Chain A
Amino acid sequence: MSTATKPKLVELPPPSDEPAVVRARIRGRVYTFTELEIGEYDKLVVKATKREADPETGLEEDVIDNVLLMRLMIDKVVEPKPPQEVVHVGTRMYRAFSRIINDLHYGDEAVEILSDDDEGDDAPKETPAGNA
């Protein structure tokens, strides 16, 4: 009989309502990246949205400028601010910021799908006293 434990499907972070935070050292400086609240993120999306005419139909439609969106996100998410304005950040450094911010905002949050039988956090916990 195997003694190996069954691997968990997901590694869940500890319970928290706080935004996710990532710290990274880039070119000798430690930066903190804080996940945006969805309302704040929505505001940046609106700022990065242009109305452009579709070249085929001629009809105007909303188009998100993803380059501008990322620059706005870098400005809001990264602390401390890079020593230079976003537009003057080195390309490799900019890509490092983008990689972390993309993962922080568009990566999959680990979730555990519960079965109907699973009472989740409401399940009564066994305590030493309760087992006595």
Chain B
Amino acid sequence: MPHGIFQILSGPKGRVTIPALGAHIGTMQQWELRRRGGDDDPKSGSYDLRAVFSYINPHLFHDADYEKDVIVEFGRGRQHLQLRVHMVDAEETVLRDRTLLVRGVQISEYRDEAQVGRTAASL
């Protein structure tokens, strides 16, 4: 888990889904997570997310009735990692055309069912 290690992390793959509807509402073609402040800064541990989408459904993205899953990916093979971006307490969320800026997000490691299955099988 790279939390607290990196200042900037970026990649080409990411997605936004609404799990309750089984709906894929966004495909990223580029994203960047930038850590905020220094280690002593109270904002340390939160990040700014910038993303450019090849596809985004702005109507569902802004629909407060549905919880979204924002997942970004980086690395390959054993280094492949997925991060969940938590936007719930974000200070600011701006989606303009296909460009997204979210200030003050939290991140955590994300494992889909296939990864969880592989991990369990290897134990």
Docked-complex contact A87 and B63, CB < 8 angstroms: no
Docked-complex contact B20 and A86, CB < 8 angstroms: yes
Closest to B60 in A: A47
- Cα A86 to Cα B57 with chains together (Å): 19
B28-75 residues with Cβ-Cβ distance < 8 A to A are 55, 57, 59-60, 63, 65
Docked-complex contact B21 and A46, CB < 8 angstroms: no
Q: Which of A43, A46, A51, A71 contacts B23 (CB 8 A)?
A: A71
Closest to A51 in B: B55
Residues of A with C-beta under 8 A to B59: 43, 46-47
A71-B21 contact, Cβ under 8 Å, with A47-B60, A47-B63:
yes
A50-B55 contact, Cβ under 8 Å, with A71-B23, A85-B20:
yes
Docked-complex contact B60 and A87, CB < 8 angstroms: no
Q: Which of B19, B21, B55 contacts A72 (CB 8 A)?
A: B21
Docked-complex contact A86 and B21, CB < 8 angstroms: yes
- Cα A50 to Cα B21 with chains together (Å): 15
Report A28-59 CB contacts with B as 1/0, cut-off 8 Å: 00000000000000010011001100000000
Report B63-102 CB contacts with A as 1/0, cut-off 8 Å: 1010000000000000000000000000000000000000
Residues of B with C-beta under 8 A to A43: 59
Q: Which residues of B contact A (CB under 8 A)?
A: 19-23, 55, 57, 59-60, 63, 65
Task: Identify 27 residue pairs between A and B in the complex whose beta-carbon atoms are under 8 Å apart, listed by A's number.
Answer: A43-B59, A46-B59, A47-B57, A47-B59, A47-B60, A47-B63, A50-B55, A50-B57, A51-B55, A68-B21, A68-B23, A71-B21, A71-B22, A71-B23, A72-B21, A75-B21, A75-B65, A85-B19, A85-B20, A85-B21, A86-B20, A86-B21, A86-B22, A87-B19, A87-B20, A87-B21, A87-B22
